[in-house]
Amino acid sequence: MRYSTFAPPVSLSHLVRCFWVLESDAQSSGYIHRSMADCCTELLFHYKGLFHEIDEQERRTLSFRSGIHAQSYRYRRFITHEDFGIFGAYLYPYASKLLLNTPAAEFTNQMPDLHSALGPQGRELEERIILAPNTQERIRILSDFIHGRLSKLPTGYDHPAVSAVKYTVHAKHLPKVRDLASRFNLSERQFERKFSEYAGMSPKRFMRIVRFENACNLYRNKLEKSLTEIAYECGYFDQSHFIRDFKTFSGYEPGQYFSGHAEGTEWRD
């Protein structure tokens, strides 16, 4: 399993958190990937191999060749028996509002293919990314495309709620909603409405997912911290709250996830 990340151009760092590549050779038993709840959005391009999504009844549906994995408060499972290569751009959730002129909430928990989201431009972009000879060329093609979409936006599109969403994504100690609204000079009611427009969900749910992601990011330190220490460090009120949120957003008990043997975590190792 080979996983690498790449920093975006400085000119896109307000929109793109990183570019990434995940590759693997075929496994006889198949590889199951689990996408967990995430406060951010991804553009995905399968340049080698394809996955099937597995639903709760274990039925399988062929996934897209390229598409959008929007911000989500649910987990999903995918399987492949092929060699595969995936190129992705990890975006802040307000990307759909800025790049597609669509409120983020319309994409929440959705995975539309790129053709549906972008029409002919989506088909052209998919073909260019799939046929590109290497990762650096894929980054260049996608960066040029995003720059082109941004150039068509009116000036002054950076609403305070956009800054609030970005601030929250990176927060290690999450504030109360009223304090966050005050920080960005918005009334609490206005803040909740605009934040939801750009983040795709309410501030409270968004913060729950950020807290969950902060816990997941301690995965590499799983042998150095107890579950109680992880819960406390990430701001959970008690162990039961931690367990409930973790299972809702990942499908795992925390102990199972941090054991190092959970399905679909190989890419983190």
Q: Where are the domains of the chain?
A: 2-151, 158-213, 217-269
What pLDDT, on the 0 to 100 scale, is given for residue 97?
Answer: 80
The order of strands in the sheet holding 41-48 is: 2-6, 16-24, 84-91, 41-48, 66-69
Domain 158-213 has CATH 1.10.10.10: no
Identify the residue whose tokens are 């009844």.
57
- SS3 state of residue 255: helix
For the chain, 269 residues long, give each residue's pLDDT as a single digit of tens: 899 999 999 999 999 999 999 999 988 788 999 999 999 999 999 999 999 999 989 999 999 999 999 999 999 999 999 999 999 999 999 988 888 878 888 999 999 999 998 999 999 999 999 999 999 999 999 999 999 998 887 655 678 989 999 999 999 888 899 999 999 999 999 999 999 999 999 999 999 999 999 998 876 655 577 888 888 888 888 889 999 999 999 999 988 888 877 887 777 66
What pLDDT, on the 0 to 100 scale, is given for residue 204?
Answer: 95
What pLDDT, on the 0 to 100 scale, is given for residue 98?
Answer: 81
What pLDDT, on the 0 to 100 scale, is given for residue 111?
Answer: 95
What pLDDT, on the 0 to 100 scale, is given for residue 114?
Answer: 93
Whether 158-213 shares its CATH topology with 217-269 is answered yes
Exposure class string for 91-125: b at 16+ Cβ within 10 A, else e = bbbbbbbbbbeeebbebbebbbbbbebbeeebeeb
Fold of 217-269: Arc Repressor Mutant, subunit A (1.10.10)
Strands (E), the chain: 2-6, 16-24, 31-35, 41-48, 52-54, 60-62, 66-69, 76-80, 84-91
Cα(87)–Cα(15) distance, integer angstroms: 17
What pLDDT, on the 0 to 100 scale, is given for residue 132?
Answer: 98
pTM: 0.92
Class of domain 2-151: mainly beta
Q: Which residues make beta-bridge pairs with 86?
A: 22, 46
- Look at strands 60-62 and 52-54 and give their pairing: antiparallel
